[in-house]
Amino acid sequence: MRLGPILLLLLASCAVMPDSNSSASISSSRFGTRKDGLRATLWTLRRGDLEVRLTDHGATMVSMICSNRVGERADVILGFDDVKGYESPDNQYFGCTTGRVCNRIAKGSFTLDGYTYQLATNNGPNHLHGGVVRSLDKVLWQARVGMIDNAPTATFSYTSPDGEEGYPGKLTVEVSYCLASNSELRIDYRARTDRATPVNLTNHAYWNLSGAGSATILDHELQLAASKFTPVDETLIPTGKIAPVAGTPLDFRTATTIGLRIDPLLATGTLGYDHNFVLDTNTGMHAAAVLYEPKSGRELTVLSTEPGIQFYSGNFLKGCTGKNGASYAHQSALCLETQHFPDSVNQKSFPNTVLQEGTELRSTTLLRFSTR
């Protein structure tokens, strides 16, 4: 594996790369050795109030540290202290780049150009988050880091060979994390292929704005810029319909406490919230979600170029031990995954997820942090 000159410098010295006229900086440290013997690295990007830690294992966001309304800092996403945790059975896609296709594909099967492809079925009868062994969250990405217009930036790239996890085509993927301002993290995705293949990329961070390891997210308030959602069957595959959220527990058009209406969903296949919402605007950079935690005053605003967002209320968290010995209890964190819709490759009425040779996928999600 060849390492670029900036990466070699960081690995050799754990150097700090400060910006000349601000508090922005980049530093690195070792993050442990993977099962295949390759070493993982942790990068820390700082700017203003924000500090984000990233690893090349899975192009993963390990930590996001920000202040509450009185200036007390906390890490607000779930994760592990080193790469061993991310390779363990306790990892539930914490903070990773998810793909080639995030979310679910019905029965792990789709047809392109007259050929039917069969993928792993790793979520009941369905395919989830790109596969089992070489999905994007499990591979070691190439990294390059540096200041771009005074913004600390880490860019991860990976080339998935034709046939990896059963997908057609050689896919080249790039994910860039940039502290675009003192209060914003921008995530940019790019992908190209030499053969038609489905692609749907997202980040799978688990949020608790009280601080990772806090007991619940049911006290958080959530607003989604979505008046419709995609109903699912008992295995969480969309039925193909697009339905209004009005009159259902999924109505977050105005800020609503998450625990207020969750009970009717607990006995359904979703076991809580695990739904794709159809964003009201699907062109350009548009509003997706606002998450607020009243006690700390922390607020996260999500904007994206994607047409949908999956809201997942941490229904399968089971008390595993994460960073600094914290326990991640049932529904103690949530995901807001900007994306195309689940099973889009099999749902012709949904926005297209098939990337063609000679074209480029571009997608951006902006995470804006504030207090009130």
Q: Which of 17, 112, 22, 105 is closest to 355 using CA atoms? A: 112
Q: Is the pLDDT of residue 9 over 70?
A: no
Task: Give me the chain's average pLDDT, please.
Answer: 94
Ranges 7-21, 203-217, 324-338: which has the least confidence: 7-21
- 310, with CB counted inside 10 A (0-12, 13-18, 19+), is buried
In this predicted structure, what is the pLDDT of residue 328?
98
Active site residue 127: no
Q: Is the pLDDT of residue 19 over 50?
A: no
Q: What is the DSSP string of 306-340?
A: SSEEEEE--TT---EE-GGG-EE-TTS-BEEEEES
Q: What is the DSSP string of 91-132?
A: -S-TT-EE-SB-SEEGGGEEEETTEEEE----BTTBEETT-S
Q: Is the pLDDT of residue 5 over 80?
A: no
Residue with tokens 């810029």: 225
Angstrom distance (rounded) from CA 180 to CA 203: 17
Q: Is the pLDDT of residue 12 over 80?
A: no
- 260, with CB counted inside 10 A (0-12, 13-18, 19+), is exposed
Tell me the pTM.
0.94
List of E strands, 171-273: 171-181, 184-193, 197-198, 202-203, 221-224, 228-229, 243-244, 256-257
Q: Which of 104, 121, 58, 52 is closest to 85 using CA atoms? A: 58
Topology alike, domains 5-206 and 221-346: yes
Q: What is the pLDDT of residues 69-82, one digit of tens each?
A: 999 999 999 999 99
Exactly one of 51, 184, 306, 337 is catalytic; which is it?
337
Q: Is the pLDDT of residue 154 over 70?
A: yes
Burial 196-226 (b: 16+ CB within 10 A, else e): ebbbbbbbbbbbbbbbbbbebbbbbbbbbbb
In this predicted structure, what is the pLDDT of residue 16?
47
Of the CA atoms within 13 Å of residue 320, those in its CB half-sphere come to 18
Active site residue 184: no
More confident residue, 129 or 15: 129
**Residue type at 300 in one-letter notation:** L
Mean pLDDT confidence for 334-349: 98
Please count the other Cβ atoms lying within 10 Å of the Cβ belonging to residue 152.
28
DSSP β-ladder status, 39-47 and 50-55: antiparallel
In this predicted structure, what is the pLDDT of residue 6?
31
Angstrom distance (rounded) from CA 48 to CA 185: 12
In this predicted structure, what is the pLDDT of residue 23?
85
Q: pLDDT-derived band of residue 310, with 50, 70 and 90 as boundaries?
A: very high
In this predicted structure, what is the pLDDT of residue 14?
38
DSSP 352: P
Q: Is the pLDDT of residue 110 over 70?
A: yes
In this predicted structure, what is the pLDDT of residue 15?
42
In this predicted structure, what is the pLDDT of residue 306?
98
Q: What is the pLDDT of residues 40-59, one digit of tens each?
A: 999 999 999 999 999 999 99
Q: What is the pLDDT of residues 263-274, one digit of tens each?
A: 999 999 999 999
Angstrom distance (rounded) from CA 34 to CA 226: 40
Q: What is the pLDDT of residues 183-212, one digit of tens each?
A: 999 999 999 999 999 999 999 999 999 999
Burial 45-54 (b: 16+ CB within 10 A, else e): bbbbbbbbbb
Name the fold adopted by 221-346: Beta-galactosidase; Chain A, domain 5 (2.70.98)
Q: pLDDT-derived band of residue 18, with 50, 70 and 90 as boundaries?
A: low
Q: Is the peptide bond before 100 cis (omega within 30 degrees of 0)?
A: yes
Residues 6+ away with beta carbon under 8 Å from 257: 218, 219, 220, 221
Locate the domains of the chain by residue range. 5-206, 221-346
3-state secondary structure of 169: coil
In this predicted structure, what is the pLDDT of residue 352?
97
Exactly one of 57, 204, 220, 340 is catalytic; which is it?
204
- Please check whether residue 158 is in contact with residue 134, taking contact to mean a CB–CB distance below 8 angstroms: no
- Please check whether residue 104 is in contact with residue 343, taking contact to mean a CB–CB distance below 8 angstroms: yes
- Please check whether residue 201 is in contact with residue 98, taking contact to mean a CB–CB distance below 8 angstroms: yes
Q: What is the pLDDT of residues 219-261, one digit of tens each?
A: 999 999 999 999 999 999 999 999 999 999 999 999 999 999 9
Mean pLDDT confidence for 129-151: 97
Neighbouring-strand partners of residue 338 = 309
Q: What percent of the chain stands above pLDDT 90? A: 94
In this predicted structure, what is the pLDDT of residue 1?
29
DSSP β-ladder status, 202-203 and 97-98: antiparallel
Ranges 13-27, 101-115, 258-272, 277-291: which has the least confidence: 13-27
Angstrom distance (rounded) from CA 91 to CA 138: 11
Q: What percent of the chain stands above pLDDT 70? A: 94
Domain 5-206 -> CATH class: mainly beta
